[in-house]
Amino acid sequence: MRKPILSFLCLIALAASSPAQTLPARARFEAALLADAPAEALSIVQSLARPAPEWLVELGTLQLRAGLEHEGLASLRAAEEASRGSAALAMAQHLAAQGAPEAAVAEWLEAHLRSRHRLTDHELRQAFHGTAFRQGDRLELCLRSVPASRAHQALCQAREAWAQGRPEEALELLEQEPARGHAPALALRARIHAELGQAQLAAELAREAGREAPREAAYARQEAQAWLDAGKPEKAAEALRRVPQDVLGLAELALLAQGLAAAKPDAEAEALWKRLELLRPLSAEESLARAENLLALGLNLEALRVCSEALRDSPNHPELLLSRGKAFARMGNLAQAQDDFSMSLDQWPRQSQTYMQRAQARWDAGDSGGACYDWRQAARLGNPSANHPLLQNCPGR
C-alpha cells in the first residue's frame, strides 16, 4: 500500500514552499477534493473572482459527501444558473444516495431537458450508470439538450455511432458542416483517431479544439497525451504551456512533467513530480518516467526510492524492475541489479535492452560466461549494440 496522503494544509505548505513552486488553483482544488477537505476546497473557490460552474458542482458534491447538506445544496444552487445540467446531475446523485433513486432520475431529467447547456461525456456516463434507461434514450436526451444547434445534433449522433462501435460513421458525421469546426466535435474526432492508433492526427485535432476554447484544459491534456503517444514529448509540454496555468489540474501537471522529462533530462520535471507526489500517489507509468528522468540526472538513490515505492503496488512491472536494476547497478549493488534484471526478463523476455543491462552487471561482477550469454541473447533479438562486446570479450564463446 502507498503511504497515506498527508493533511491538505501540510501538503500545500510543502508544495508551495517557494514562489516558483506555487501550484495552480485548479491543482490545489483537486488536491482538496482528493483529501476530502471541504473547508479548504471552499476557501480556494472563494479566492477566485469567477469560479467555473463545474468547480461549484464538485465542491457541492464533496460537501454533501461530508454530511454538510446545507452548504452542499448552496454550492449546487450557485452552479445552477450557469450549468443547470451539471448541478442537476449532482442533485440527482445526492437524492439517490438518500434512498430516492426514482426521484433522483426525475430531478435530473426535468432539469436537463429544461437546460440549454450540454452535458459532458463524463456526466452522461454518470447519469446512465445504474439507471434503467431504454436503448436510444441517451441519444434522445443528447439531441433534446440543445435543440437549436445543428452542430450539437451532429455531435450527439456521432457519439452514439462511436458508442455502438461504428467509428467511421462517427467521423463522417463530425467531418461535415456544421460540426467540422465545433470544438467538442474536434475533440471527439481526436479521441476516435487516438483510439484508432493515429496519434499525430489526434494531437493536431485536439490542438484545433484548444484554439476554439483556449481555457479548456481537457483539450490541452488530450493533445499532450496524443503527442506523447506519437513520440513527440516536446510538443506535449508545449501544448500544456499554451493554456493559462491556473486551469491546469493534477493530471495536466503530470503530463507536463512527462513531456519535459521525455524530451531531455529535466530538473523542472522532477520539481513537478515532487509536488504531485505530495498530493496523490503517482501511477506506475508516472513513476517510471520520473525514475528514468532521475537516472538521467544522476540521482540514482532517489530513482531507487521511486521505483521501490511503485513496485509495492505493481510488483511485476518489467520496466520498473529494469529501472530499479539500473539504479542498483550504478550504486554498485550488482547482485540486486542482476536480480531485478532477471525478474524483468521473466515478465518481458524479448527485451534486448534488459539483456544488455544484465550482461554489463554480470561482467562487472566477474561472471564473464553469464555476460557473454546475455550479449548473445541481445544480438539474437536484433540489438546491434551487443556485437562489439561480443567480439571484444567473448571470442569463441
Per-residue pLDDT at 275: 85
**Fold of domain 306-397:** 1.25.40
The CATH architecture that domain 153-263 belongs to is Alpha Horseshoe (1.25)
Give the dihedral sign, CA 192/193/197/199: negative
Per-residue pLDDT at 206: 93
Taking the C-alpha atoms of residue 251 and residue 33, their distance in angstroms, rounded to an integer, is 14
Decide if 153-263 and 306-397 have a common fold.
yes
Taking the C-alpha atoms of residue 68 and residue 231, their distance in angstroms, rounded to an integer, is 46
Q: What 3-state class would DSSP assign to 282?
A: coil
Count Cβ atoms below 10 Å from residue 182 Cβ, excluding itself: 21
Of the candidates 390, 350, 385, 341, the residue with the CA atom closest to the CA atom of residue 368: 390
Taking the C-alpha atoms of residue 31 and residue 33, their distance in angstroms, rounded to an integer, is 5
Secondary structure (DSSP) of 7-52: PHHHHHHHHTSSGGGPPPHHHHHHHHHHTT-HHHHHHHHHTSSS--
Cβ neighbours of residue 8 closer than 8 Å, sequence gap 6 or more: 31, 32, 35, 37, 40
pLDDT tens over the chain, length 397 residues: 344 444 444 444 444 444 334 678 888 888 888 888 888 888 888 888 778 777 887 888 888 888 888 888 788 777 766 554 555 556 666 655 655 555 555 555 555 555 544 555 445 544 444 443 444 555 665 655 544 467 777 887 888 888 788 999 999 989 988 778 888 889 999 999 999 999 999 999 999 999 988 888 889 999 999 999 999 999 999 999 888 888 888 888 889 998 988 888 888 899 889 888 888 889 999 999 999 999 999 999 999 999 999 999 999 999 999 999 999 999 999 999 999 999 999 999 999 999 999 999 999 999 999 999 999 999 999 999 999 999 999 976 5
pTM (two decimals): 0.73
Can you give the three-state secondary structure of the chain, one letter per residue? CCCCCCCHHHHHHHHCCCHHHCCCHHHHHHHHHHCCCHHHHHHHHHCCCCCCHHHHHHHHHHHHHCCCHHHHHHHHHHHHCCCHHHHHHHHHHHHHHCCCHHHHHHHHHHHHHHCCCCCCHHHHHHHHCCCCCCCCHHHHHHHHHCCCCHHHHHHHHHHHHHHCCCHHHHHHHHCCCCCCCCHHHHHHHHHHHHHCCCHHHHHHHHHHHHHHCCCCHHHHHHHHHHHHHCCCHHHHHHHHHHCCHHHCCHHHHHHHHHHHHHHCCCHHHHHHHHHHHHHCCCCHHHHHHHHHHHHHCCCHHHHHHHHHHHHHHCCCCHHHHHHHHHHHHHCCCHHHHHHHHHHHHHHCCCCHHHHHHHHHHHHHCCCHHHHHHHHHHHHHCCCHHHHHHHHHHCCCC
46-81 per-position pLDDT tens digit? 888 778 777 887 888 888 888 888 888 788 777 766
Cell, residue 25: 488553483
Cβ neighbours of residue 218 closer than 8 Å, sequence gap 6 or more: 187
CA distances from 149 to 48, 82, 152 (A): 32, 18, 5
Per-residue pLDDT at 32: 86
Per-residue pLDDT at 131: 44
C-alpha radius of gyration, the chain, whole number? 25
| Residue 370 and residue 389 in contact, taking contact as beta carbons nearer than 8 Å | no
| Residue 238 and residue 260 in contact, taking contact as beta carbons nearer than 8 Å | no
Q: Measured between alpha carbons, how far apart are the two ends of the chain, in Å?
A: 46
Per-residue pLDDT at 4: 41
115-148 per-position pLDDT tens digit? 544 555 445 544 444 443 444 555 665 655 544 4
Cell, residue 369: 560466461
Per-residue pLDDT at 130: 41
Residue boundaries of the structural domains of the chain: 153-263, 306-397
